[in-house]
Structure 1
């Protein structure tokens, strides 16, 4: 499942391939699988009570990538980033252009440093100065290959189990790991008695403004919302606890604050109390900027108590990211156990209580 999800290509606005993979893996555990009008997948599993609380567990289908904007006379491709890219991680990286007639390999290029001035060589190359080389020798040939403005461009990195088999590398952990968590939560609840209706959701266009989370939440109208995503791993050289708190393998991150949301206090306490009771490891973290789908979920309709649960991941928003399998499994366990403990009274206490 993890390989199929991460190897699939799906940038914002073109998530079809990933959605098909998620649908295949979540359908056996759902009563119904639908797709909203923007493209988000919604899998519903009703518990023992037909009108119980609605619990939304959402990962986003899309990964960061690019879009073709123009082809020059020599056949080189220019592009618009989709999501946040840092110039330093882009050059000389392989990409796939998804055309209507098939996928085309390419590589991101720019002027070589050998012909730059010493001053220019010290600075990162601006994205506007980069291009993609697909081996075409003219605009006409690139067009014959099937490339058109608006085509999606996706990073290349096959799913890889590293020598330490707990460590997994892939191009799109942000956020196929959230989709995998949503799938496995429904799987763990398949034959479990609980009084809730659980929605495993794969949202679209998170990387460009949490857009699918808005539409999917409006469809579901949940009582409780969880966004499952990646977070910053603070365990590589040069990062201090002032920069990032979480360590890989030490449990899922409970995000207390980010640029899109202050986490719901009573829901946060309920989750950490459950983790403490069962001995499930977790870590607190905060991010000054950025946000997750929880930022859109919690302000929908009359408001939804929400929390972002993240997996500490190295090298996010690059071609190759790494995470720890134990954090994935503990996130699934924690969310599953929380859902088993939720009911109408507990949800009412979370929303209105004084705890």
Structure 2
């Protein structure tokens, strides 16, 4: 499945952490005679957020730059109800010229990424979901002393989460009944923004990592949430508890009776070109992963 595995420690129980490496984007479905690219979404997104933005076509070699073309704002009423598919322009004027760049049907497109610091400890960029989770696992691994672990800890960096948890499912099938728990390390889509009501999914940025007690794919048993909170308090790590939308990689382990105890961080503007985080939450998340690996 293309997953990356790292196993530390010895003995039982086995505890699994999983963060995903993939991101949302588009796939080329056709190359037009004028050289432009027909696209279909890969993962859940609002195509309107990608219009008139830079693009990268991934060909297996050096990515080819392009543009996600803006759709006609003067379209008729029928088209406004059903917007046309998104197209991409790589600067060519013929199918042959596009193919000469190494571009083929099936290649994928993403958006160029730039990490931008905002005021204080805030930052914005594309694909913090789930680069933050992946980075937090790396930070935790660097701090853990494997010889001091009391049991086996498996760190997974999974593939194809955004299109159906496929990498995590392959890992769950390989591990079967062995894990005692799985901790999905992924976004907590938060209502902490000026745009959204705060009655659901509220986890303020800057207040620490989040125990995802409930989402669309899993329900964490209350005693396990309580244990996570107690560990955070003992280690003096900021931790919030919340419910949100979306799913997580850990849910597919449930087929084997493995409880899913996901840990995330609050994110504004999820699956947009301007996802926004607080770096204090990243530090809290890494510390929480380390604490769980070492002490629970």
Above 0.5 in TM-score? yes
User: Do the aligned partners of 1:157 and 1:320 also contact (CA within 8 Å) in 2?
Assistant: no
User: Do the aligned partners of 2:40 and 2:86 also contact (CA within 8 Å) in 1?
Assistant: no
User: Do the aligned partners of 1:156 and 1:319 also contact (CA within 8 Å) in 2?
Assistant: no
Matches within 5 A, 1:139-288: 139-164=95-120, 166-190=121-145, 193-220=148-175, 221-287=178-244
TM-score calculated relative to the size of structure 1: 0.78
Pair 1:326 & 2:275 matched: no
* Match in the other structure for 2:94: 138
Pair 1:314 & 2:268 matched: yes
* Match in the other structure for 1:116: 75
Shift of 1:314: 1.3
Shift of 1:116: 3.4
For 2:258 and 2:62, how far apart are their aligned partners in 1? 41
Shift of 1:163: 4.1
Q: How many aligned positions are there?
A: 294
60-69 or 227-236, which deviates more: 227-236
For 2:71 and 2:126, how far apart are their aligned partners in 1? 26
* Match in the other structure for 2:5: 42
Q: Residues 155-201 of structure 1: CA distance to partner in whole angstroms, max 9, x if unpaired?
A: 1221223343x222221111011111211222221266121111111
User: Do the aligned partners of 1:95 and 1:106 also contact (CA within 8 Å) in 2?
Assistant: yes
For 1:237 and 1:320, how far apart are their aligned partners in 2? 14
For 2:93 and 2:44, how far apart are their aligned partners in 1? 30
User: Do the aligned partners of 1:106 and 1:135 also contact (CA within 8 Å) in 2?
Assistant: yes
Shift of 1:308: 1.1
Task: Provide closer, same or farther for how the CA distance between residues 88 and 266 of structure 1 changes in structure 2, counting only shifts above 3 A.
Answer: same
User: Do the aligned partners of 2:137 and 2:289 also contact (CA within 8 Å) in 1?
Assistant: no
- Counterpart among 224, 243, 254 of residue 298 in structure 1: 254
For 1:133 and 1:57, how far apart are their aligned partners in 2? 39
Helix, strand or coil for the counterpart of 1:129?
A: coil
Gap regions ≥5 residues in structure 2 = none
Shift of 1:241: 1.8
User: Do the aligned partners of 1:88 and 1:124 also contact (CA within 8 Å) in 2?
Assistant: no
User: Do the aligned partners of 1:245 and 1:284 also contact (CA within 8 Å) in 2?
Assistant: no
Gap regions ≥5 residues in structure 1 = 1-37, 343-355
Helix, strand or coil for the counterpart of 1:218?
A: helix
